[in-house]
Structure 1
Amino acid sequence: MARVGGHHRRVHYFERLGESRFAATEHTQGAWNRAEQHIAPSLGLLAHAVEQDRDRRRDDRLPLTRLSYDILGTVPIAAVEVDVQVRRPGRSIELVEATMSHAGRAVLVLRVWLMQRFGTEQLAGSSFAPIPSPEDTPAWDMSALWRGGFIASADVRRREVGPGRATAWVRTNVGLLAGETVSPAAAAIGLLDIGNGLAVRADPAQVAFPNIDLTAHLFSEPRGGWLGFDTTVSFGADGLGLTHSVIHDETGPIGSSSQMLTVRPVA
């Protein structure tokens, strides 16, 4: 919270400029280049746009289950446009595409499957290993390793397991979009991309390893609060890498996230 004139004012990653136009704030500032946006909040903004489009068209609130993002380029901390199209309409399953553009150039594309709910409470369960709770995980100053406004906006707790291996919990007090109600799912999706910085295999001052995509599979909707990561980072011998996280909320595992990396020694 920011305090202005004796009153608390909540800060946000984006502000709406029009029906499909949004302004990024300084809290989206990136970790690799502080003149560019960290892509994480944009993932949440596209998820929010898909949910808003869904709710205009139907009243059954299909959850977002598979989210596949392709990062087509960097984007400055500036105004962006968002377009949503239904690619495969259906009564119980839909495929929706959302595109973020800057200055007429597409920079981020989301293809997301929305799926109908069924009552399977008696079948619910997962064999993904639990991770230590937020209360049992020490606080971690992520800004000591990573730069930028987005990283500074995150409250992080982390337990390092080994090189490229960690469990962590993340939350933020920064809202996704000023003046609008955002679902716990969209807010959580806006944190997923932080996974690539949680289990560092190499010093980012010596090696760059940005991701070109992010794909998440969610078998349970995030409920808000802390978002947990059980993260493994792998580097190959030819400049390729993978960050894979099992995603948790405070009830247990809820899905997974994978990010393909380009691994480049810094000259």
Structure 2
Amino acid sequence: MQQPSGHRSPAAYFERVDAKRFRATEHVGGGWNPAEQHVAPSFGLLAHAVEADRDARRSDGLRLARLSYDILGIIPIDVVDIEVAVLRPGRTIELVEARLSHAGRVALILRAWLMQEYDTAAFAGTSLPRIAPPEQMEPWEPGSVWPGGFVRSVDVRRAQIEPGRASYWLRTAVAMIDGEQVSATARALGMLDISNGITPRATPEAVAFPNLDLTAHLFAPPSGEWLGLDTTVSFGAGGFGLTHSIIHDSGGPVGAVSQCLTVRPRL
């Protein structure tokens, strides 16, 4: 979408139009097609919409525990609409659905479980290994592989092990919504989908491998400037693939994320 003459895109992925509509900026340009949206920022926008709806309805701050996104189609760089509905209300657990649409067509669906917090500090722990901190990894430019505004908005530090296997850290100075604060969880969800392109098993010139979904499970809310991922990409022999990552913040692992891939040779 061309911006009006004299319009300057803010340092944000979206501008609010009204209570339910948001205008995407040039910073959301996708890797497969720069004229379409990369879904990562929209994933964060939907997470924020669920949290904003929660806070408008209740004051106990239920935490996002599982977020399952389905991608129904491409999204132009244009104004999008968001609707939120509670599917399963509850005092300590809720299932909430958020839908993002463009011109009346639903493009993304999020179903999120929200849960009450309890003090389980005495039992906290995980056997998932930590990854090296960002200062021990080399800078890597995803724009060397991918086009589009989104990958150029993210600062990456990567330790590549082999094609399809890497650990890395991400951060961005670009706001989710111009002039508005969002939670650290929503900001993290706004970067997670990039995991499918940070350590590809094959070049995007040789094979297309877009994801159809993304499901994240969080056992602790991510915090801090950097988001860490320990990623393994797997391709089967029949055109199916999986990108699986353990999510980290500076304190260690906080969850996991998986993406189902359709793998399509170009040659």
Same fold flag (TM > 0.5):
yes
Contact residue 214 and residue 259 of structure 2 kept, 8 A: yes
Distance 2:266 2:11 in 1: 34
Contact residue 210 and residue 262 of structure 1 kept, 8 A: yes
Contact residue 155 and residue 171 of structure 1 kept, 8 A: yes
Structure 1 unaligned segments of length 5 or more: list them.
1-8
Contact residue 185 and residue 224 of structure 1 kept, 8 A: no
1:56 partner amino acid: A
Contact residue 166 and residue 231 of structure 1 kept, 8 A: yes
The percentage of aligned residue pairs carrying the same residue is: 60
Deviation per CA, 1:14-71: give whole Å up to 9, x if none.
0000110000000000000011000000000000000000000011111101000000
Q: Which aligned pairs between 1:107-186 and structure 2 lie closer than 5 A? A: 107-186=107-186
1:98 partner amino acid: A
Does 2:212 correspond to 1:215? no
Contact residue 10 and residue 25 of structure 2 kept, 8 A: no
What is the TM-score normalised by the length of structure 2?
0.96
1:170 partner amino acid: L
2:49 partner amino acid: A
Question: 1:199: Cα distance to partner?
Answer: 1.6
2:216 partner amino acid: A
The aligned residue for residue 6 of structure 1 is none
Number of aligned pairs? 259
Structure 2 unaligned segments of length 5 or more: list them.
1-8
Deviation per CA, 1:147-178: give whole Å up to 9, x if none.
11000000001011112100000000000001
Question: 1:224: Cα distance to partner?
Answer: 2.9
Distance 2:144 2:163 in 1: 17
The aligned residue for residue 3 of structure 2 is none
Distance 2:158 2:18 in 1: 38
Question: 1:142: Cα distance to partner?
Answer: 1.1
The aligned residue for residue 91 of structure 1 is 91
Contact residue 93 and residue 116 of structure 1 kept, 8 A: yes
Distance 1:224 1:61 in 2: 19
Distance 2:160 2:67 in 1: 27
The aligned residue for residue 58 of structure 1 is 58
2:264 partner amino acid: R
Question: 1:200: Cα distance to partner?
Answer: 1.1
Deviation per CA, 1:72-110: give whole Å up to 9, x if none.
000110000000000000000000000000010000000
The aligned residue for residue 198 of structure 1 is 198
Deviation per CA, 1:93-135: give whole Å up to 9, x if none.
0000000000100000000000000001111111111111101
The aligned residue for residue 5 of structure 1 is none
Contact residue 28 and residue 77 of structure 2 kept, 8 A: yes
What is the TM-score normalised by the length of structure 1?
0.96
The aligned residue for residue 21 of structure 1 is 21
